[in-house]
Amino acid sequence: MDRRQFLRNTSPVLLLLTNGKSLYRSALSLAGERDKVKFRFAVASDGHFGQLQTTWENDYNSVVQHINQQHQLHRLKTCIINGDIIHNDPAMLPLAKKQLDQLKMPYYVTQGNHDMVNEEVWQKTWNMPFNHSFVINKQVFLLATTSNEKGEYLCPDLDWMRSQLEKYKHAPNVFIAIHITPVKWTDNGKDCPEFITLLKDYKNVRAVFNGHDHDQDDMKEKEGIPFLFDSHIGGSWGTTYKGFRMVEVMHDNTIATYILNPETKLNEHILPHRNIVEIDA
């Protein structure tokens, strides 16, 4: 086994468990579990299409190629592009969409602070509103804006989020994607205590996915809720690599997640079950 393969197999994986605990295991120890995956998806963010003095077209080509490779290998049900798709200039939005349309699986988008367009333009471009939900194979996804046409940092719409959480309170898993971190862990985060209080009452919320902080690629936790960062796929700063996150739901409802950078696995985790839910095998 060469050194790169050894590192790939021994890198720690974060697992989210049904008892509310999280633990690390090696990728090698999970290798035998991959055939038990029932649902797999990818999350990427911060492409900043059109940012000057960056290689935005190459960045988009690269991430689309690597996500499609994962789809060919493992069959992804969906992909979430979690904000900052463009870098301020609304004229870049249809060009970025043209690149993302090369993805071989259904994909959905959230608005970031650099996606400086109004909701009418957003709806016309993506055929989805700023706040929207969808369900695939009983897995629920809530995607919400944390900004506006001015690029301001905002908390998610609590009324909309509450209505969706209540609507799907009996679902086995709820995944939330918002661009800006709702806890002031980083200089670029925004404290949203009412949002956190709301989430902790819905135990089927398995993870919140954040973009925005290009230099963050691991997990943080608040009130027992995992908040997962995914590095960046473009832009002028951040981690030394450009990557994206993979998420795998097992048949026992355990969830494994890891970063691809974009080929080697990093920061793998198993996510905790926050309550007991009915699981379909």
Q: Where are the domains of the chain?
A: 3-271
CB 114 within 8 A of CB 87: yes
pLDDT tens across 43-75, in order? 999 999 999 999 999 999 999 999 999 999 999
Among 28-37, 121-130, 222-231, 259-268, whose mean pLDDT is lowest? 28-37
Task: For residue range 167-176, list pLDDT tens digits in order.
Answer: 999 999 999 9
Give just the sign of the alpha carbon dihedral 197, 203, 207, 209. Answer: negative
Q: Quick check: pTM over 0.75?
A: yes
The CATH classification number of 3-271 equals 3.60.21.10
Nearest CA among 264, 281, 274 for reference residue 11: 264
- What pLDDT, in 10s, does the model give residues 211-241? 999 999 999 999 999 999 999 999 999 999 9
Q: How do residues 189-210 score in pLDDT, each as one tens digit?
A: 999 999 999 999 999 999 999 9
Asked whether the predicted pLDDT for residue 115 surpasses 90, the reply is yes
What distances in angstroms separate CA 210 from CA 31, 38, 107, 224, 249, one per listed residue? Answer: 27, 24, 16, 16, 19
Q: What is the DSSP letter of 167?
A: H
Average pLDDT over the chain, rounded to an integer: 90
Dihedral angle, C-alpha 74, 96, 119, 206, nearest 10 °: 20
Could you tell me the two tokens for 192?
């949203």
